[in-house]
């Protein structure tokens, strides 16, 4: 409406080469053009070189037979399987160790972080010593320590440490009985699912009842009871349709049962203990960032310390904790590639190492590997950002 007026009131436009908008656009196009040109040059140069060395590019190699065995795999795998399947073995091994690491690092980190704030002198000092020692030693050395220093020095399979004739610990790993499911086991699985559904409904009911009558319900104890009780009853009804496959010493090593290889244990231990020190510090700073006035206000209302921690302090501490915690999860996941140093068959060792050496498809293999880590990291990031937004404070 008043556009004509405001236009005439505006100062005269600067010449086009001095206008910040056009100037910015010009330089951005210039840079973009440069990047595209450089990329095109690199790609054509690489293709030329590959052609000269007689290496075929493309992803066809994924369908050829791998011909090497892998120490540990979560899916069925043998030498006759393809490189593609070897990739998934490596990927799942990486996800396994990262998952275990994140789980234990989080729990242990929270405990140690709270312990360091404890009024118990001994507990607080022990937490401090733990944090200051382990976070200041390089992770690779810690992995070596657990692997070469501790687990490889266990006795040979013949002299295994033994518990109840069914668990065996030696320098090849920890062997435990493997459950074998027989007909009728489905009933137990269904009982387990039913237990979870019941618990969800019970939690909702308890919440509603507290809103209505104010009475609180011990959901945690009841849940534990249901989750153990229901499947047990089902097991009795079905007549225990399950047997155990025990590990047995045949020749130089054990066969049967489940084996947890020492490479996995040392890697998971080192990753969780190392990352837990950082998480502990993050948790400590998060709790300390909640002003003392918050606790005082809660106490002054007669709210007990436990409820104060749960309803007042932790929700506020979390918003300080989550962003740096995300970085630690990402670090742990990426640090799991140090697995190669002790020959734990993770993605980098299996795919970025063996497959790359055998096929020579460096560009394809490395770009796939990098894309995988990027995807895992972005997924973790996305999840944590979502959680962070949920916890964020409303202001103004």
Partner 1 sequence: MSEIAIQAPTKEMTVTDDVMINMIGVHKWYGEFHVLKDINLTVHKGERIVICGPSGSGKSTMIRCINRLEEHQQGQIIVEGTELTGDLKHVEQIRKEVGMVFQHFNLFPHLSILDNLTLAPIWVRKMPKKEAEEVAMNLLERVKIPEQAKKYPGQLSGGQQQRVAIARSLCMNPKVMLFDEPTSALDPEMIKEVLDVMVELAEEGMTMMCVTHEMGFAKTVANRVIFMDEGQIIEENEPNEFFNNPQNDRTKLFLSQILSH
Q: Which residues are at the interface with partner 1 (CB under 8 A)?
A: 210-216, 291, 293-294, 296-304, 307, 311-312, 315-316, 319, 391, 393-396
Secondary structure element (H or E) that encloses residue 93, with its range: helix 83-116
Q: Least distance from C-beta 124 to partner 1, angstroms?
A: 20
Q: Least distance from C-beta 220 to partner 1, angstroms?
A: 17
Q: Which is nearer to partner 1, 214 or 251 (CB)?
A: 214
What is the C-alpha separation between 3 and 288, in angstroms, rounded?
54
What is the C-alpha separation between 202 and 197, in angstroms, rounded?
9
Q: Which is nearer to partner 1, 334 or 390 (CB)?
A: 390
Q: Least distance from C-beta 216 to partner 1, angstroms?
A: 7
Q: Which is nearer to partner 1, 64 or 294 (CB)?
A: 294
Q: Least distance from C-beta 296 to partner 1, angstroms?
A: 5
Report DSSP letters for 309-330, one per residue: IIIIIHHHHHHHHHHHHHHHHH
Determine how β-strand 161-163 pairs with β-strand 178-181.
unpaired
Please state, in angstroms and as integers, the Cα–Cα distance from residue 34 to each residue in 21, 22, 24, 37, 44, following that order.
Answer: 20, 18, 15, 5, 16
What is the C-alpha separation between 312 and 196, in angstroms, rounded?
29
What is the C-alpha separation between 325 and 320, in angstroms, rounded?
9
Q: Least distance from C-beta 385 to partner 1, angstroms?
A: 18
Per the CB < 8 A criterion, the answer to whether 77 and 85 are in contact is yes
Q: Least distance from C-beta 323 to partner 1, angstroms?
A: 16
Q: Which two tokens stand for residue 379?
A: 């997924």
Q: Least distance from C-beta 210 to partner 1, angstroms?
A: 7
Q: Which is nearer to partner 1, 50 or 309 (CB)?
A: 309
Q: Which is nearer to partner 1, 64 or 210 (CB)?
A: 210
Per the CB < 8 A criterion, the answer to whether 157 and 254 are in contact is yes
| Rounded to 5°, angle at Cα 119 from 113 and 122 | 80
Give pairs for 138-142: CB < 8 Å, separation 24+.
139/270, 139/271, 139/274, 139/335, 139/338, 140/338, 140/341, 142/270, 142/273, 142/274
Q: Which is nearer to partner 1, 203 or 249 (CB)?
A: 203
Q: Which is nearer to partner 1, 160 or 308 (CB)?
A: 308
């Amino acid at each position: 409406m008043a556009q004509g007026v405001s236009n005439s009131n505006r100062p005269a436009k600067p010449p086009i080469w001095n206008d910040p908008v056009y100037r910015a656009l010009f330089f951005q196009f210039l840079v973009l053009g440069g990047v595209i040109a450089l990329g095109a040059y690199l790609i054509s140069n690489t293709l030329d070189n590959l052609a000269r060395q007689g290496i075929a590019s493309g992803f066809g190699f994924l369908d050829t037979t791998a011909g090497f065995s892998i120490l540990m795999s979560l899916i069925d795998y043998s030498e006759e399987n393809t490189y593609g399947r070897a990739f998934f073995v490596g990927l799942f091994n990486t996800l396994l160790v990262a998952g275990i690491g994140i789980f234990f690092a989080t729990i242990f980190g929270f405990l140690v972080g709270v312990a360091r704030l404890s009024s118990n002198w001994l507990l607080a000092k022990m937490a401090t010593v733990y944090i200051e020692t382990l976070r200041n030693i390089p992770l690779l050395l810690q992995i070596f320590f657990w692997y070469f220093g501790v687990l490889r020095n266990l006795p040979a399979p013949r002299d295994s440490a033994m518990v109840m004739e069914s668990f065996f610990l030696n320098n090849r790993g920890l062997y435990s009985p493997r459950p074998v499911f027989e007909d009728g086991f489905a009933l137990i699985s269904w009982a387990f699912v039913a237990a979870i559904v019941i618990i969800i409904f019970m939690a909702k009911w308890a919440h509603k009842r507290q809103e209505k009558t104010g009475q609180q319900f011990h959901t945690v104890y009841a849940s534990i009871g249901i989750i153990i009780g229901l499947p047990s009853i089902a097991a009795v009804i079905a007549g225990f349709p399950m047997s155990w496959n025990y590990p047995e010493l045949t020749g130089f090593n054990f066969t049967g049962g489940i084996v947890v290889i020492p490479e996995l244990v040392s890697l998971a231990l080192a990753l969780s203990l190392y990352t837990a020190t950082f998480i502990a510090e993050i948790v400590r700073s998060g709790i300390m960032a909640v002003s003392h006035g918050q606790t005082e206000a809660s106490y002054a209302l007669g709210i007990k310390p436990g409820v104060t921690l749960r309803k007042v302090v932790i929700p506020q501490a979390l918003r300080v904790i989550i962003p740096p915690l995300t970085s630690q999860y990402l670090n742990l996941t990426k640090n799991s590639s140090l697995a190669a140093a002790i020959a734990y068959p993770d993605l980098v060792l299996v795919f970025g190492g063996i497959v790359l050496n055998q096929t020579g498809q460096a560009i394809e293999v490395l770009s796939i590997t990098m894309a995988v880590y990027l995807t895992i990291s972005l997924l973790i990031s996305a999840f944590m950002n979502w959680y962070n937004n949920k916890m964020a404070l409303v202001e103004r």
